[in-house]
Chain A
């Protein structure tokens, strides 16, 4: 493993995306969720809420697709799901931040469909895929990767960063993104691919170690 290689004294060494200190798998947010699950710990829940509710609200308001009232409703829904689903969270398999992101993503999709009165009998969970790999390395990569990816996002060229934000934060399809930015669909597709390639290089580098 990569644990200490070249890292010890310098803390923030840039040797590898994965040379994050051990113990990372139980980051404070993951511990929070575990405490919520095991002890129905309301203090842990309050702490989790204080950190994530403003992020969920930001996510809800991205692309100004939801009103402030609906954004608050989304925060409620997501946080109640966190409480309900905490027992199903496995810190060995995913980072808590990724876990709550996928809950927020699905709740928002369902809210969109409700508000647009889509005649659909399906919820996001019915048509989604919940990663449940027993491959611990996968989760390791995911949880360590999140930190590194966050650092790398800042290095993306503006045009690619803008498109990733539309795609992920605003939940726009590639065609919607193309229409909103007045770009050909092919351009949007290639920018997404380029951006993801850059971010993936680090994840792949990690998985080979």
Chain B
């Protein structure tokens, strides 16, 4: 067995479960459990959770801690009239349509598509021969919230970050100076770390990425960021 071989070939076809080796750390997952991450980061973590049973278990434990704190709070008296108010509204909510799909916002719809893996209908723009980007929309807490599609053999120019970048691999895989990442892997890059991710052989790579502040391309690459840019593989 070669150490590098790994069952990742099929994820485009059938989303076979692969071993996820990079997970959100305890602090990130705790903030997620307590709803204190930004919307954009929450989406990345939630999408990771969609396929990671290990983190689902971790989340269950963290929510259990939240619930224990909630239950041990010092109760605060509630006026009896509040109960009557709620009782009076029960019939009303009973008849309220449960379907929230109809009035869901565009962004909520987009997020749903991403989490379900329906990526074809998104608004992809071609940046280079091997790189397409779909901006998912303005969202609080993020300077950029996008999907990256790196064609097999392609890469993203070397860049560093002025803010934290959180990436989730949705399909295929990429490698950079720090290692290789595959479908389901959750990767965080702190501000100042430089890297140049390249798609791993065997298929295209699609990632969901949130950047807390704008990505800064290192200087001599900067001018290459025109629509005419031709990326060299690797």
Write the B49-67 contact mask toward A (1 if CB under 8 angstroms, else 0).
Answer: 1100100110111111111
Find out whether the CB atom of A173 lies under 8 angstroms from the CB atom of B37: yes
Nearest first, the 6 closest Cβ-Cβ pairs linking A and B are: A121-B105, A54-B75, A127-B42, A149-B68, A101-B67, A58-B73
Find out whether the CB atom of B36 lies under 8 angstroms from the CB atom of A173: yes
Which one of B9-17, B89-97, B187-195, B225-233 is at the interface? B89-97
Given contacts A57-B76, A167-B31, contact A138 B67 (CB under 8 A): no
Given contacts A58-B74, A203-B64, contact A128 B105 (CB under 8 A): no
Nearest CB on A from B143, distance (A): 15
How far does the alpha carbon of A27 sit from the alpha carbon of B90 in the complex, in Å? Answer: 24
Find out whether the CB atom of A121 lies under 8 angstroms from the CB atom of B86: no
Instruction: Note all chain B residues with C-beta closer than 8 A to A44.
Output: none
Given contacts A49-B86, A131-B63, contact A120 B39 (CB under 8 A): yes
B78 within 8 A of A: yes
Instruction: Note all chain B residues with C-beta closer than 8 A to A203.
Output: 61, 64
Other A-B pairs, 8, CB within 8 Å; known A42-B90, A118-B140 = A57-B77, A58-B76, A72-B82, A126-B108, A164-B65, A192-B30, A196-B65, A203-B64
Find out whether the CB atom of B76 lies under 8 angstroms from the CB atom of A61: yes
Given contacts A80-B89, A127-B111, A153-B69, contact A101 B63 (CB under 8 A): yes
Instruction: Note all chain A residues with C-beta closer than 8 A to B32.
Output: 129
Write the A46-73 contact mask toward B (1 if CB under 8 angstroms, else 0).
Answer: 1001100111011101100000000110
Find out whether the CB atom of A120 lies under 8 angstroms from the CB atom of B65: no
How far does the alpha carbon of A106 sit from the alpha carbon of B42 in the complex, in Å? Answer: 13
A179 within 8 A of B: no
Number of A-B contacts (CB under 8 A): 192
Scan residues 81-121 of chain A and give those whose CB is less than 8 A from a CB of chain B: 83-84, 95, 97-98, 101-102, 104-106, 108-109, 118-121
Find out whether the CB atom of B86 lies under 8 angstroms from the CB atom of A80: yes
How far does the alpha carbon of A118 sit from the alpha carbon of B38 in the complex, in Å? Answer: 12
Find out whether the CB atom of A164 lies under 8 angstroms from the CB atom of B64: no
Nearest CB on B from A65, distance (A): 12
B46 within 8 A of A: yes
Q: Which residue of B lies closest to A193 (CB)?
A: B26
Find out whether the CB atom of B107 lies under 8 angstroms from the CB atom of A59: no
Looking at chain A's contact residues, the main secondary structure is: helix
Scan residues 76-119 of chain B and give those whose CB is less than 8 A from a CB of chain A: 76-79, 82-83, 85-87, 89-90, 93-94, 96, 98, 104-108, 111-112
A133 within 8 A of B: yes
Number of interface residues of B (CB under 8 A): 62
Most buried by B among A109, A126, A203: A126
How far does the alpha carbon of A1 sit from the alpha carbon of B1 in the complex, in Å? Answer: 39
Instruction: Note all chain B residues with C-beta closer than 8 A to A106.
Output: 35
Find out whether the CB atom of A131 lies under 8 angstroms from the CB atom of B56: yes
Find out whether the CB atom of B68 lies under 8 angstroms from the CB atom of A150: yes
Given contacts A61-B76, A167-B31, A168-B69, contact A119 B64 (CB under 8 A): no
B224 within 8 A of A: no
Find out whether the CB atom of B64 lies under 8 angstroms from the CB atom of A145: yes
Find out whether the CB atom of B36 lies under 8 angstroms from the CB atom of A54: no
Find out whether the CB atom of B35 lies under 8 angstroms from the CB atom of A171: yes
Nearest CB on B from A32, distance (A): 15
Nearest CB on B from A201, distance (A): 11
Instruction: Note all chain B residues with C-beta closer than 8 A to A49.
Output: 83, 86
Nearest CB on A from B164, distance (A): 11
B5 within 8 A of A: no
A200 within 8 A of B: yes
B71 within 8 A of A: yes
How far does the alpha carbon of A189 sit from the alpha carbon of B83 in the complex, in Å? Answer: 40
Given contacts A126-B108, A142-B60, contact A193 B27 (CB under 8 A): yes
Find A165's partner among B60, B69, B106 (CB 8 Å cutoff): B69
B220 within 8 A of A: no
Q: Which residue of A lies closest to B69 (CB)?
A: A168
A sample of 6 inter-chain contacts (CB < 8 A) reads: A72-B82, A102-B67, A120-B107, A146-B71, A153-B68, A196-B26
